[in-house]
Structure 1
Amino acid sequence: MDMRAEVYSPLQNATVWLAAWLHGHESADDLIDAWRDLGFTTPASLMAEVREKAEGAHGPQVRLLLSGPGEASGIPGGHREGIVIADRHVLVPEWEWVEADTLPAPAWLSPGEADQLLTQATDEAADLIEASGYRTDALHNPRLTVGTLSDFYDTPGLPGSVPPRAAKLFARADRVAAIIETVISRMGDHSLDSQLFSLWRHIRTARMAGVTYCAGEYSR
């Protein structure tokens, strides 16, 4: 199992950039550059298709869907993640359109509510690391590795127009993801898997809630 894929997706930042562009807060050139940095090419027709599918929609026109083990994304074709346009058109990697009659409702958590859940998750995960007593010459302090991985999750970054509350929430999600990767991948310690796996849903929910909040602010 690819643990990183369960706690991080470049679609998070890609969706924020798309929402910022669609609502007039970022340029098309900056969107294309950001997507390239995130590892996505941009077909010439894609942006026109997004505008066409969003036309006539009211309020926030973009949101993110993520799912994990034991969760159904609701996206036809078995896709685990996608960018939802106007609540029925789903853009899935690598930039194919899927049409859906019904999709799961957005995560209506406020950034503050999602951040509180992740704060509790962060404390729990850090306590699990400390309790494991893991130490080697290469990793005297697990929190140092957490910091290094947090830098990875934050690169490439979000648009300058991202609302500060959403940016804080994404940073919290990245930190919890880095803690989990530290324990499972870097330490090779699987004794805490069951506890850490339960935190994945908190991370995905926070990422979706953050994107929903961004789109709502951009659409004002």
Structure 2
Amino acid sequence: MHTRAEVYSPLQNTAVWLAAWLYHVESSDDTLDALADLGGTHSFNGASMAHLLYDVRSAADLESPGPAIRLILWGPGQAPRLRAGSPSMAALTQAGALVVRGVGANHVLVPEYLGPEVRWRWFEEQEPLPEPEWLSPGEADQVLSRATDQAAVLIEALGGTRKELPNPRLAVGTLADFYDTPGLPAGVTPRAAKLFARADRVAATIETVTDQLDDHSFDPQLFALWRHVRSARMAGVADAVVDYQREWAR
């Protein structure tokens, strides 16, 4: 199992860029460029990503309380917060989904990453979706930090990794830089940015141990972190989107 699929999704930054565009913080051109960096050529029903952006703006409820865009990530020990048996659940891939809040309905956008292109599918949900965790950035940061410390203690107690990299800090830093590419749009809250950075760092550390070192003796300790990394990303997106709404409403 490749670790990256469990701890990283380009949807984190995609969600924040879409919110920045919806609330007129970023231009259409800059948003489309960022989305291209996050997956290549995007298409929706055979049309370009610009067509999807237009439909998202038409459907989105930007004024009701709460995030107009939510990130859905899932994996071992963490079910996706979509309706069981729904078409959107059936279409879901490991990459996750975005939920755009509409008036009287939720719109679930499910991407499929196919090498240099991304194909989007759109599902309308009239029934309420399962409630998300609704962790605050501070709560998500504390949970992730505590789980990371616990995993480190366990690994140290078991004698450390069996293999070594010539420069493990450089390996972790290089991977953390990958997770952060292509960066975030303007106006992202410092809380969300800090949470994304911590999630990137933890994800890079997990990948360094399991994939770069090819040491799977600590999989139970490290895999337990996956859920907290995903939860941190979802909480950070929610905080960034709500803050965009707050600034837009002023």
Whether TM exceeds 0.5 here: the answer is: yes
Give the Å deviation of 1:160.
Answer: 2.3
Is 1:58 the counterpart of 2:64? The answer is yes
**More divergent stretch after superposition (5-14 vs 103-112):** 103-112
Q: Is the 8 A contact 1:117 1:202 kept in 2?
A: yes
Distance of 1:123 and 1:70 partners within structure 2: 20
Tell me the equivalent position of 1:31.
31
Native 8 Å contact 2:199 2:229 kept in 1:
yes
Give 2:15's aligned residue.
Answer: 15
Paired AA for residue 7 in structure 1: V
Offset of residue 113 of structure 1: 1.2
Alpha-carbon separation, structure 2, partners of 1:198 and 1:147: 22
Aligned to 2:245: 219
Deviates more, 1:188-197 or 1:77-86: 77-86
Q: Which string of whole-angstrom CA distances, capped at 9 and with x for unpartnered residues, describes residues 117-157 of structure 1?
A: 12223333444555543365x61453332222111111111
Counterpart residue identity of residue 89, structure 1:
H
Provide the rounded CA distance (Å) in 2 between the counterparts of 1:114 and 1:54.
Answer: 26
Q: Which one-letter code corresponds to 2:9 in the other structure?
A: S
Give aligned-pair identity as a percent.
60
* CA–CA separation in structure 1 for the residues paired with 2:9 and 2:152: 22
Give the one of 107, 124, 133 matched to 1:89: 107
One-letter amino acid matched to 2:110: V
Q: TM-score, normalised by structure 2?
A: 0.80
Q: Could you tell me which runs of 5 or more consecutive residues in structure 1 were left unpaired when the two chains were aligned.
A: none
Counterpart residue identity of residue 142, structure 2: Q
- Consecutive unaligned residues in structure 2, runs of 5 or more: 43-47, 83-87, 112-118
- Is 1:72 matched up with 2:79? yes
**2:45 maps to what in 1?**
none
- SS in structure 2 at match of 1:85: strand
Retained in 2: the 8 A contact 1:121–1:176? no
Q: Is the 8 A contact 1:63 1:83 kept in 2?
A: yes
Q: 1:135 to 1:189 in 2, by over 3 A?
A: closer
* 2:123 is aligned with 1:98: yes
Q: Which amino acid aligns with 1:50?
A: V
Query: Is the contact between residue 19 and residue 62 of structure 1 (CA under 8 Å) also seen in structure 2?
Result: yes
Structure 1 56/167 Cα, relative in aligned 2: closer, same or farther at 3 Å? Answer: closer
How far does residue 9 in structure 1 lie from its aligned partner after superposition?
Answer: 0.2
Aligned residues: 219
Secondary structure, aligned partner of 1:108: coil
Q: Given the two structures, how large is their TM-score scaled by the length of structure 1?
A: 0.90
Shift of 1:68: 0.4
Q: SS of 1:45's equivalent? A: helix
